[in-house]
């Protein structure tokens, strides 16, 4: 196990890489700890939860809702959780987001930590302190930014991860490589999902590298004034098409990254859109998709990243170097139409 402590503006976070779930027992008191997980993870890994007070929520994004938050709060009241309680979210992005959200509001805020169980949650969703719930179609419309007190990474959980979930994680990993790390981009070109799934050491290293990359971006800009926006590569368009066309998050982001690469070619003279679409395909992700521009523009009107009539779009100068460019919505509509 590798321990790394990181100081954020208001919170200190302990990261435990290459760790085991059993180590939670050394870190927390079962009497004041409340684990939140979803029904799938609970049934696949039931042994882990013995001896812990566990609140089980239904699996899936549809349950990242106020109703589920209310259910968790009701359970906490019944279990007599007080201000000294620690919530531990054991699961994918849905579980970690809602755990962070409930921890932020229960009794005006209690401690929380995460054990992410999907590749996506490991390398992305669990890091950075953003939490929240969806309101109807609008993702993460309600939430706060608050850092967890610890993150424990046990890649053993990934043994049961469905194929589509691997793709979601790889999309964010490729995103990280595109905006910040050309060396990692080349390493990804030189390996494959099949090899990574079998090679625990390679996988642990990749997880750790991605956590550290995201963490350093977040730490430099905890409240998303500048640099952190780079992490939105592929997400402006991605979020707009995800629900509308029923893509998984990873698929939508992959298409978003591909479009961003082509916009980068047109606006900044970026030379490698081809290399990006080849890598996305290598990791089982889609790249091309023809969408209804009018519908997508309507969704962008609601995007949190929109400022007045401009979108802060993330483009690539080269592989490993993302940049932020404000694009007026009017121009974006025209650009989408000609691609």
Binding status of residue 60 toward ligand ADP by CB under 6 A: yes
Q: How is residue 77 written in tokens? A: 């009241």
How large is the angle between the packed helices 163-180 and 273-282, nearest 10 degrees?
150
Binding segment for ligand ADP among 88-96, 275-283, 295-303, 311-319 (CB under 6 A)? 88-96
Residue number with CB closer to ligand ADP (95 or 233): 95
Binding status of residue 58 toward ligand ADP by CB under 6 A: no
Q: How is residue 138 written in tokens? A: 């609008």
CA-derived radius of gyration, the chain: 20
Binding status of residue 202 toward ligand ADP by CB under 6 A: no
- Site track for ligand ADP across 10-49, x = CB under 6 A: ----------------------------x-xx--x-----
Which positions are annotated as active-site residues? Answer: 108, 130, 172, 214, 224, 228, 232, 235, 239, 249
Out of 65, 86, 118, 277, the residue judged to bind ligand ADP by CB under 6 A:
118
Q: Minimum distance between the CB of residue 98 and ligand ADP, rounded to whole angstroms?
A: 9
Binding status of residue 95 toward ligand ADP by CB under 6 A: yes
Binding status of residue 91 toward ligand ADP by CB under 6 A: yes
Out of 92, 113, 143, 234, the residue judged to bind ligand ADP by CB under 6 A:
92
Site for ligand ADP in 146-165 (CB under 6 A): 157-158, 160-162, 165
Q: Minimum distance between the CB of residue 272 and ligand ADP, rounded to whole angstroms?
A: 28
Q: How is residue 44 written in tokens? A: 């696949």
Binding status of residue 173 toward ligand ADP by CB under 6 A: no
Strand order from edge to edge, sheet including 306-307: 306-307, 310-318, 321-328
Binding status of residue 132 toward ligand ADP by CB under 6 A: no
Identify the CA nearest to 188 among candidates 280, 118, 78.
Answer: 280
Strands 111-116 and 86-91: parallel
Residue number with CB closer to ligand ADP (120 or 218): 120
Binding status of residue 276 toward ligand ADP by CB under 6 A: no
Q: What is the DSSP string of 291-309?
A: --HHHHHHHHHT-TTEETT
Out of 89, 93, 132, 238, the residue judged to bind ligand ADP by CB under 6 A:
93
Identify the CA nearest to 177 among candidates 337, 68, 319, 12.
Answer: 319
Binding status of residue 81 toward ligand ADP by CB under 6 A: no
Residue number with CB closer to ligand ADP (22 or 78): 22
**H helices of the chain, where?**
24-27, 39-44, 66-78, 93-105, 119-120, 163-180, 182-189, 193-198, 200-220, 235-245, 249-268, 273-282, 293-301, 329-338
Out of 117, 147, 155, 208, the residue judged to bind ligand ADP by CB under 6 A:
117
CA separation (Å) from 272 to 4, 266, 279?
35, 12, 11
Q: What distance in Å separates the CA atoms of residue 257 and residue 255, rounded to the nearest whole number?
A: 5
Q: Minimum distance between the CB of residue 243 and ligand ADP, rounded to whole angstroms?
A: 14
Q: What distance in Å separates the CA atoms of residue 132 and residue 130, rounded to the nearest whole number?
A: 7
Q: How is residue 14 written in tokens? A: 């302990």
Residue 53 belongs to what H/E stretch? strand 53-57
Out of 35, 104, 120, 261, the residue judged to bind ligand ADP by CB under 6 A:
120
Contacts to ligand ADP by CB under 6 A = 38, 40-41, 44, 59-61, 91-95, 117-118, 120-121, 125, 157-158, 160-162, 165, 168
């Amino acid at each position: 196990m590798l321990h790394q402590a990181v100081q954020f503006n208001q919170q200190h976070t302990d990261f435990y890489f290459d760790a085991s779930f059993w180590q939670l027992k050394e870190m927390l008191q079962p009497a004041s700890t409340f684990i939140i997980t979803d029904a799938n993870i609970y049934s696949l890994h039931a042994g882990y939860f013995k001896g812990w007070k566990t609140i089980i929520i239904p699996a899936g994004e549809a349950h990242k809702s106020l109703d589920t938050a209310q259910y968790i709060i009701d359970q906490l009241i019944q279990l007599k959780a007080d201000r000294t309680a620690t919530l531990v979210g054991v699961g994918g992005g849905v579980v970690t987001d809602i755990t962070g959200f409930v921890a932020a509001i229960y009794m005006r805020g209690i401690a929380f930590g995460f054990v992410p169980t999907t590749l996506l949650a490991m390398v992305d969703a669990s890091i950075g302190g953003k939490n929240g719930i969806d309101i109807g179609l609008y993702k993460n419309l309600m939430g706060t930014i608050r850092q967890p007190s610890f993150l424990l990474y046990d890649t053993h959980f990934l043994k049961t991860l469905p194929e589509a979930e691997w793709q979601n994680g790889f999309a964010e990993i490729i995103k990280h490589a595109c905006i910040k790390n050309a060396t990692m981009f080349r390493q990804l070109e030189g390996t494959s999902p099949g090899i990574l799934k079998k090679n625990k050491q390679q996988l642990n290293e990749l997880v750790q590298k991605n956590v550290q990359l995201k963490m350093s971006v977040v730490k430099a800009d905890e409240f998303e004034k500048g640099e952190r926006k780079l992490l939105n590569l592929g997400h402006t368009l991605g979020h707009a098409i995800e629900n509308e066309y029923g893509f998984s998050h990873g698929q939508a982001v992959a298409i978003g990254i591909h479009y961003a690469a082509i916009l980068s070619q047109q606006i900044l003279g970026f030379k490698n859109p081809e290399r990006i679409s080849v890598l996305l395909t290598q990791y089982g992700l889609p790249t091309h998709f023809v969408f209804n521009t009018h519908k997508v523009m309507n969704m962008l009107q609601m995007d949190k990243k929109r400022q007045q009539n401009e979108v802060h779009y993330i483009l690539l100068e080269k592989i490993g170097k993302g940049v932020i460019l404000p694009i007026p919505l009017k121009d974006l509509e025209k650009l989408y139409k000609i691609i």
